């Protein structure tokens, strides 16, 4: 059998998992997928992911790749994998990939989506951050304007994994009101953040700070000062992981 490299797109519910990356003694998305693939191909399969997602964080479209000796087609791989995976994880697409393809290093940008609910709906448990007071969207949008662009985002980097270079580029932040598709009576706020790269818990720290602006605890103009300070203590508390979704990963070539 020849050695083949596959690229896969997967969606998963992050609740009940300690994030994407394999951790000794903990249940993770990567470990679950590797377990199933190793069972299917009867060989030790290690996969490369497009990045990390933290405990309880979800993915609408996460990209990973792996190489195995097999004659199976991408369609057969997807069918076999989904038949054995935990129901909280589903492969959306499998295709052949070039041997040089790496889902993390070849990624050009990522898009994250954060959901906030204005009603404590039972349908949104572990799906959206419930905030009881109405947020000032206009002020949040104004604050977001200071974040867009290339900056040193040390103020939004959580402790635990310190990057040597904390300069990143945020291409856009979109904030809009939506209605829950399950219950249209439930009003929600969706925050979409697109960037070329992100620091540890950066999106959740941005969301936490924007929410404080929406709560009138911070002024939109303060965001500029917070970024320039490079001081994590001046930004707000980290938003809960369960409201965050990796929406998409964009590559130089069509993915």
Enumerate the active-site residues.
Answer: 54
The DSSP letter of residue 230 is T
- Report the alpha-carbon angle 182-187-193, nearest 5: 95
- Residue 51 Cα distances to 47, 100, 109, 148, angstroms: 12, 17, 11, 22
Crossing angle for the helix pair 202-214 and 137-147, to the nearest 10 degrees:
140
**Segment 93-97 long-range contacts (CB within 8 Å, at least 24 positions apart):** 93/8, 93/9, 94/6, 94/7, 94/8, 94/9, 95/6, 95/7, 95/8, 96/4, 96/5, 96/6, 96/7, 97/5, 97/6, 97/7, 97/65
CA-to-CA distance for 249 and 103, rounded, in angstroms? 9
Beta bridge partners of residue 99, listed in sequence order: none
Cβ atoms within 10 Å, residue 43: 11
- Residue 17 Cα distances to 29, 109, 147, 165, 246, angstroms: 7, 25, 30, 29, 15
CA-to-CA distance for 34 and 32, rounded, in angstroms? 6
């Amino acid at each position: 059998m020849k050695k083949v490299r596959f690229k896969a797109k997967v969606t998963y519910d992050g609740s009940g998992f300690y994030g994407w990356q394999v951790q000794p003694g903990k249940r993770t998305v990567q470990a679950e997928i590797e377990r199933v693939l190793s069972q299917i191909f009867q060989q030790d399969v290690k996969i490369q992911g497009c990045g990390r997602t933290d405990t309880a964080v979800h993915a609408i479209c996460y990209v990973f790749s792996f190489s195995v000796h097999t004659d199976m087609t991408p369609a057969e791989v997807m069918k076999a994998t989904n038949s054995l995976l935990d129901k909280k994880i589903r492969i959306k697409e499998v295709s052949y990939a070039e041997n040089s393809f790496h889902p993390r290093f070849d990624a050009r940008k990522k898009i994250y989506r954060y959901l906030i609910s204005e009603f404590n709906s039972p349908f949104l448990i572990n799906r959206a951050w419930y905030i009881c007071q109405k947020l000032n969207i206009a002020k949040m949008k104004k604050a977001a304007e200071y974040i867009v662009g290339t900056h040193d985002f040390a103020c939004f980097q959580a402790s635990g994994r310190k990057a040597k270079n904390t300069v990143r580029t945020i291409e856009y932040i979109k904030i809009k009101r939506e209605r829950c598709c399950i219950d249209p009576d439930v009003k929600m706020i969706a925050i979409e953040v697109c960037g070329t790269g992100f620091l540890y818990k950066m999106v959740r720290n941005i969301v936490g700070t924007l929410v404080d602006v929406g709560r009138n605890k911070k002024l939109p103009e303060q965001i500029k000062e917070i970024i320039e300070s490079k001081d994590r203590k001046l930004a707000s508390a980290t938003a809960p992981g369960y409201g965050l979704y990796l929406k998409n990963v964009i590559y130089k070539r069509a993915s």
